Amino acid sequence: MSIPFYVSPEQLMQDKAEYARKGIARGKSIVALEYDKGIVLVAENPSQLSKIGEIYDRIAFAGVGKFSEFDQLRKIGVRFCDVKGYAYSREDVRAKALANAYSQAIGDVFTREFKPLELEVIVAEVGDPRLVGHEDNVMYRVQFDGSISDHRGWCGIGGTVESIESYLKNHFRAALPLGEALRLGRDALVAAANGSTGIAPERLEVCTLDRERPGRKFRRASADEVRAILA
């Protein structure tokens, strides 16, 4: 009979965290910013596989890390919200409940499973000024160990999130028009990626939650639109 090695819980958690951080740091970061009409999400992503997606009428998702893992999470979020909106009402679907569910599920995997999820996600919800109590924008960041935080103004995820934060702390202003907010988001990603000289518009994945759209607020901007907005 083999005798199992003793590994202290501290060591085990540290190893898992380090493993997850390494996986996340391999990819590019994503930033979400509030602008005058809602929230814009910006990612450097030259591929056809999206990192940003629509969850529900006013809710968007963004994920960094291992694509298969965060895309799975996105689909689970869509199912969670569609079932809830079908069983109750569309206004009952809120980002807070979804972010909490993500946090618990990701935290569960981190403590119970051998391999932690190598991902970080943003859940963003644009406010609806017509509904009392729903007026404000909210952005949640959920990390690989299930820790959750809410953010005002901007929210970043990914390996270079500290640099993004420090850049935006100095440059962010509230209620910017879309073009300026997008430029700011792009510049934050450029500043965070060490030694990068810029990101071409066609390498950007840009989605908005535009409060002024009727019904579903989520919209994916085409490469031409991104170019036009940035011009």
Binding-site ranges for another protein (CB under 8 A): 50, 53-55, 75-76, 78-80, 82-83, 85-87, 101, 104-105, 108-109, 216
d(C-alpha 175, C-alpha 151), whole Å: 15
Q: Return the number of the residue (50 or 208) whose C-beta is nearest another protein.
A: 50
Q: Return the number of the residue (53 or 201) whose C-beta is nearest another protein.
A: 53
As beta bridge partners, residue 219 has 208
Least separation in angstroms between residue 193's CB and another protein is 26
Least separation in angstroms between residue 75's CB and another protein is 6
Return the sign of the alpha-carbon dihedral for residues 52, 137, 185, 118.
Answer: negative
Least separation in angstroms between residue 214's CB and another protein is 10
Least separation in angstroms between residue 204's CB and another protein is 18
d(C-alpha 82, C-alpha 130), whole Å: 22
Structure tokens at 224: 């031409």
Least separation in angstroms between residue 102's CB and another protein is 8
| Residues in contact with 163: Cβ distance below 8 Å, sequence separation at least 6, in sequence order | 191, 192, 194
Q: Return the number of the residue (36 or 86) whose C-beta is nearest another protein.
A: 86
Q: Return the number of the residue (85 or 153) whose C-beta is nearest another protein.
A: 85
| Residues in contact with 63: Cβ distance below 8 Å, sequence separation at least 6, in sequence order | 30, 51, 70, 71, 73, 74, 119, 120, 121, 122, 157
Q: Is 57 helix (H, G, I), strand (E, B) or coil?
A: coil
Q: Return the number of the residue (81 or 164) whose C-beta is nearest another protein.
A: 81
Least separation in angstroms between residue 39's CB and another protein is 18
Q: Return the number of the residue (87 or 132) whose C-beta is nearest another protein.
A: 87
Q: Is 42 left (phi over 0), alpha (psi -120 to 50) or beta?
A: beta
